[in-house]
Structures are given as C-alpha cells and as structure tokens.
A = this chain, B = another copy of it.
C-alpha cells in the first residue's frame, strides 16, 4: 500500500497547526506531508497592525517556516498555488511540478472584501501581510516627510481608516501610540494630524460589549481620533474618500480594514462558496470531497446557537488546524474522526501598547490588564508553534 500523500496549502494559523499536529502525531513514513506557502515565513496576522503603524518592526510579526517544521517529517515548498484541481486530486504551482494528493488541506487565507466601493482596490492600502504592512508604514512616513516640502498640505497628515472592526480599531490604537514619535521626527505639531475612523455601522466594533466599546471610543476620542459612524464610504480616490451623501475627506493615506473574503483560488476550484468561503461539514470537509479539508478564512462554520457563521479569526483557525491534524491521523489509521466544535476562549482587541479591551470567559477586561491578556494570547500562539524555545526567541518584545 502506498504512503498517503497529504498536501497542506498555506502556512497561516490553520495550515501550520495542521502541520505541527501531524509532525507530532505521525511516525516517520506514515504519510508524505508537504506544506506549500508563498513566503518562507509565517506572519502573525493578529500583530500586523503594529508594523503597519510602525510601532514594531515587521520581523516581530513573522516566523521562519524552517524554524517551525520538522524537515524529516514535513517537506516545505515555497511557491504560489495557481490552481486546485479537485477531480485530478492535484495542486498546480507557479514554479514547480503539480503536486498530487490523497488528502488536501486548504488554508489559503483571505482577500480584502470591498463591498463594491469604487476605487478601493486601486487607491486604498490593506492590512494583509508583511509586504503590505511594511508599505503602509512607509507610505505614512513618506507623506509626513513631504509635509514641509509641499506647502504643509493637510491631506498629507490625514489618515483615514475605513472600518471600525477589530483590525481597524487595533490599527487606530497603534497609530495613536506612533504619532508622538512620528510628529517629532518630521517637526509636525501633533494636533495638526487627523486620524479619522469611518464605519458604515452605527457603532464601533459592532456586536461587541457596549461598555467596552464605550471605553475604547472614549480612549480614542481623548487622543484626538475622529469617528464617523453610520457613514458608508462611497468611493476611494487618489485624493481621499467620498462619503455617502457626497462629502469628501482629503487624505493621502486611506487604509481599508472593512472586511475579508475567502481566497479566490477556492472559488475557482469549483467548490460552492459564499463570499469565497466554503460551508464545510462537521469534520471541516468540503461538500462532496471527503479528502479535502477547508480551514481558516476560506471556511464557513456555523454557530449552532444562533445559526450564524463564526467570524474568521486566528482563534478559530488555530482550533480548526488542531482538529484537522487529529482527523487526518484518524483517517490514515482508520480511526474515528472528531467533529469540530469551536471553543470561544475570549476576545481581546488591543488599543495600543498599553490599552486594550476584551472578554475572557465571562470577565470584561480593559486598560492595562486587557493589554497584558492580549500579549498572553500572542505568547500562547508562539508556544503552540514551537514550545518554550519559540516563545523565548520571538516573544521577548511581548513580555
């Protein structure tokens, strides 16, 4: 009997947890495991708002894949996936021969959801990955550096953040921390800088605890952030944004955090998707394809309590990867698979280095306590990836 071939696409939270689980549980030669990822590193999505604002170097938000995988058990291919051929059980790559599989794990992440806003893809910046956040930080600095060279134009030091969900709020919080240093560096009075957070919904962090939302809004407003709620953006131009009703805000920097959709490769594979996401079965498998597991931002898992899909988060992706590793081992060994059940441990949104809000278990947290909780969550991720050595190597700035 041939050794079963497992191909894992994407080294995000879900893909890496799958691979780390497999290399722990499987014996040598029990399966051929191959991980495919575009970069030779994993990036920590939940920290990307920091390098985006320039408060931490980008290297703090990424980990070399070679430092995570056991190369005796997992083969790593750095390449871009160009197509998933479900019928042939093959994955096509940009620069390598096609890979055939017996089991496929799809953890290809997300793409920005623009909700049809004109000009967004062309003119806005997105907190997506290491490359994009390095560019956001440099974009902001470049605009600030132009200020005294180009007639002190207000738009150069106006930053619009579209979306007041988790990413938007965490990014604005980081910008607050960053401004004093940035203003000093470019001789710009802090009070001249405008930070504007625009959200179509009537509240910041829709669905989150109102008391904590109130805490965040007060903290932001006391630091000069302007909120525009119940205000959809109609168009993003080279000069800024045009709001519903026609008002224009001139801003040299527009960062869109308004939402994500699944990777288009999943749609193109022929699987049925909703906004690029596949409604998976209880074992996280694609309908009609028991050999294909779809995880993370590409998957749609429903909360049975309210029949609504769980929002795509690092937390759910991590648990999906852990579940998938177990179930792949069961499948190979002919054991019983376990249905996926999401265990929501809590939610913390950072508002900068020293401020955060969150719910852990049944407790509401805010301020310094919540900020420490946020870091504990990040340290836990490092621990899951590589135990104490990884925590020590990559987590020092979190402690």
Size class of A's contact patch?
A: 10 to 19
Quick one: which of A96-155 are within 8 Å of B by CB?
A: 131-132, 134-135, 137-139, 141-142, 144-146, 148-149
Contacts of A144 in B (CB 8 A): 138
The reply on A186 being an interface residue by CB < 8 A is: yes
Copies of this chain, count = 2
Complex CA distance for A141 and B134, rounded to whole angstroms: 10
Contacts of A148 in B (CB 8 A): 131
Complex CA distance for A215 and B220, rounded to whole angstroms: 57
Closest chain B CB from A362 CB (angstroms): 42
Complex CA distance for A142 and B138, rounded to whole angstroms: 5
Interface 1/0s, chain A 252-288, versus B by CB < 8 A?
0000000000000000000000000000000000000
Complex CA distance for A280 and B352, rounded to whole angstroms: 59
**Pair B134/A186 contact, Cβ less than 8 Å:** yes
Complex CA distance for A132 and B137, rounded to whole angstroms: 19
Closest chain B CB from A260 CB (angstroms): 17
Contacts of A132 in B (CB 8 A): 149
Closest chain B CB from A55 CB (angstroms): 16
Residue of B nearest to A40 (CB): B187
Which of A137, A142, A185 has the most B CB atoms < 10 Å from its CB? Answer: A142
The listed residue (B58, B131, B139, B186) touching A142 by CB distance below 8 A is B139
Contacts of A186 in B (CB 8 A): 134
Residue of B nearest to A131 (CB): B148
The listed residue (B137, B146, B149, B185) touching A145 by CB distance below 8 A is B137
The listed residue (B58, B131, B142, B185) touching A141 by CB distance below 8 A is B142
Residue of B nearest to A125 (CB): B149
Complex CA distance for A131 and B148, rounded to whole angstroms: 6
Contacts of A141 in B (CB 8 A): 138, 141-142
Closest chain B CB from A148 CB (angstroms): 4
Complex CA distance for A146 and B137, rounded to whole angstroms: 11
The listed residue (B58, B131, B137, B149) touching A135 by CB distance below 8 A is B149
Residue of B nearest to A126 (CB): B149
Contacts of A134 in B (CB 8 A): 145, 185-186
Residue of B nearest to A144 (CB): B138
Complex CA distance for A186 and B134, rounded to whole angstroms: 8
Complex CA distance for A148 and B62, rounded to whole angstroms: 16
Complex CA distance for A132 and B146, rounded to whole angstroms: 8
Complex CA distance for A186 and B149, rounded to whole angstroms: 26
Closest chain B CB from A11 CB (angstroms): 16
Residue of B nearest to A137 (CB): B145
Quick one: which of A46-93 are within 8 Å of B by CB?
A: 58
Complex CA distance for A137 and B139, rounded to whole angstroms: 12
Residue of B nearest to A58 (CB): B185
Residue pairs across A and B with Cβ atoms less than 8 A apart, 23 shown, are A58-B185, A131-B145, A131-B148, A131-B149, A132-B149, A134-B145, A134-B185, A134-B186, A135-B142, A135-B145, A135-B146, A135-B149, A137-B145, A138-B138, A138-B141, A138-B142, A138-B144, A138-B145, A139-B142, A139-B145, A141-B141, A141-B142, A142-B142
Among all A-B residue pairs, the 3 with the closest Cβ atoms: A138-B145, A142-B142, A131-B148
Question: Given A131-B149, A132-B149, A135-B149, 9 more contacts at CB 8 Å?
Answer: A58-B185, A131-B148, A135-B142, A135-B146, A137-B145, A138-B138, A138-B141, A141-B141, A141-B142
